[in-house]
Amino acid sequence: MKTVLVVDDTPDSIMVLCALLKGRYDTRVAISGEAALRLLGAAPVDLVLLDAVMPGMDGYEVCRRIRANPATVAVPVVFLTAQSAPEDAARAVAAGASGHLAKPVEPALLLAMVERLLAR
């Protein structure tokens, strides 16, 4: 089973995403960018669902660090964020994101994106 890392500082968002992925994927959770990078260093994952706005290290910096690490450079990263302006999506792509979805996330769209990215 493929593993998805959910990175978000909001417990409600984590619960919703984990419930949506349950039975389809193994999930790991990090509540900060720093914790996400530690988890990625400890065990590989197949995809990261990443909040953009978090205290401390934001999602854009997390994504840049994922892309800078040879061990994680190929891991797809999808931003899930309340920031839905075109410039926010452009910033995510510039940081190395594979996708950008606005919260609240449409479950069918999220699952379709995850399945497409994990099929590679």
Q: Domain limits of the chain?
A: 3-118
pLDDT tens by residue, the chain, 120 residues: 999 999 999 999 999 999 999 999 999 999 999 999 999 999 999 999 999 999 999 999 999 999 999 999 999 999 998 877 788 889 999 999 999 999 899 999 999 999 999 997
DSSP SS3 for 99 = strand
Assign domain 3-118 to a CATH class: alpha beta
Amino acid at 44: P
CA distances from 88 to 35, 53, 61 (A): 23, 11, 14
Q: Judge if pTM exceeds 0.85.
A: yes
Q: Under a CB-based contact definition with an 8 Å cutoff, are residues 83 and 52 in contact? A: yes
- How far apart (Å, rounded) are the C-alpha atoms in residues 76 and 51? 14
CB atoms within 10 A of CB 103: 17
